[in-house]
Structure 1
Amino acid sequence: MDFEITRDQKNELLNRRELSFTLTFDGSTPSRKSIREKLAAMLNTDENLLVLDLERTRYGVMELCGRARIYDDEESKNSTERAYLLKRGEPKPESEEA
């Protein structure tokens, strides 16, 4: 996976950093979790403060275009972000086997 940051802008009003990126990959499309982990490690930020918004792939091209927002603190993230986007970023609960 190779990331290319196409836009990096600081939004002081909402206490966040807004990114647009292009990700090139081999094989199948990477999961949201692996994209978050790699992007957080690359930008040296906390993974819990990073929210992925839009991911688009094109047919036949091993390339993904997306947007991410990195918040300064958890309170700003929870007050600004939509609930369904926050749920997408959480790990799935493990089901109990009988």
Structure 2
Amino acid sequence: MDIEFPRYERNEACRRIDLEFVARFSGAIPSRDEVRAELALISGVDPAAIALDRLSPRAKKGEIRGKGRIYDDPAAMKAGER
């Protein structure tokens, strides 16, 4: 899976990175867990510290567009998410 980041902004007050991404894939559409694991691998954080808002798969194009947040650690995510 190849991922591009049209938006990748650090939010120091919330201890997180706000992002929009486009993930390109071949074959079956990846699950949310697979996307989260790939983002964790790229960013070097625990997958439990990644919140995904929306994923819009486009199977014919072989891509997923999404939005999410990568927190510094799971504790920061717990404090920042509802």
Q: If the length of structure 2 is used for normalisation, what is the TM-score?
A: 0.85
CA distance in 2, matches of 1:35, 1:74: 17
- Residue 62 of structure 2 is aligned to residue 29 of structure 1: no
Q: Percent identity between the aligned chains?
A: 37
**Aligned residue in 1 for 2:76:** 76
**Aligned residue in 2 for 1:55:** 55
Aligned residues: 82
CA distance in 1, matches of 2:45, 2:75: 16
CA RMSD of aligned residues (A): 1.5
Which has the larger strand fraction?
2
Unaligned runs of 5+ in 1: 83-98
Unaligned runs of 5+ in 2: none
**Aligned residue in 1 for 2:40:** 40
Secondary structure, aligned partner of 1:6: strand
CA distance in 1, matches of 2:31, 2:75: 26
CA distance in 1, matches of 2:81, 2:63: 26
Secondary structure, aligned partner of 1:14: coil
Shift of 1:19: 1.3
Report 1 or 2 for greater relative contact order, CA contacts < 8 Å, sequence distance ≥ 6. 2
- Residue 15 of structure 2 is aligned to residue 19 of structure 1: no
Deviations 1:19-77 (A, max 9, x none): 11101111221011111111110121221111111101236321110112111233331
Higher Cα Rg, which structure = 1
Q: If the length of structure 1 is used for normalisation, what is the TM-score?
A: 0.73
